[in-house]
Amino acid sequence: MTAVIIFIADGTEEMEFTITYDTLVRAGATVVSVFVPDTTSTSHPVSPPVAKGSRGINIMPDMYLDRSQLTVDKFDSLVVPGGAKGADTISKNSTVQDLVREFYKNGKLVGMICNGSLAALTSRLPKQPLTSHPAVKSRLETEFEYSEDPVVVSGNLITSRGPGTTFPFALTLVESLFGREKRVEVQGPMVFPTGTPWVNAQ
């Protein structure tokens, strides 16, 4: 069974989280959403936590951030969604940084979208092709080979630009984890309009 971690925090971009989560489940993955707390917040945590997305939508995560439960032998991939506040919280978290490095080093698939690509910087991943939301381009372009392609695949690191590129991002994750045939199988029932560029992506 293919298992995927997707991080979530207050301020996570809802489309990037839900579309990625949903698409991976359609492909047959077991997806676990992991709540990353804002360590600078003075508010008292609730149990279980509810992540308030960037547009105010409340999402119930599957579990708290627990390093002992999130190991490379249990999961095949991890995903960092964007949203300015959420991505800031996630990318600055030392446990997340440790997990990103460990998964990347062990050849596990690492996905980042929008401002979530900041986690590549804070986790000190090697210089390589990468993209992000334009808002954080200036923070990444000197440390990486910056691209403005909708989705950038660099070995086991897959990055993308924002809410509007979430479907091709999620489908690229599916193809990387399950193969081209599964991507075609998953995207068909989604009924994308004729001519949608990523439907025929190679």
Residues with a catalytic annotation lie at: 16, 114, 133
Tokens of 19: 């579309």
Find tokens 């630009």 and name the residue: 161
Cβ burial 147-182 (10 Å sphere, 16+ → b, else e): beebbbebebbbbbbbbebbbbbbbbbbbbbbeeeb
Instruction: Find, among 99, 133, 103, the residue nearest to 117 by Cα.
Output: 133
* Rounded Cα–Cα distance for residues 59 and 35 (Å): 10
Beta strands in the chain (DSSP E): 3-8, 30-35, 51-52, 58-59, 63-64, 77-80, 109-113, 129-130, 145-146, 151-154, 157-160
Tokens of 44: 């008292």
* Rounded Cα–Cα distance for residues 78 and 72 (Å): 10
> How crowded is residue 202: how many other Cβ atoms within 10 Å of its Cβ?
4
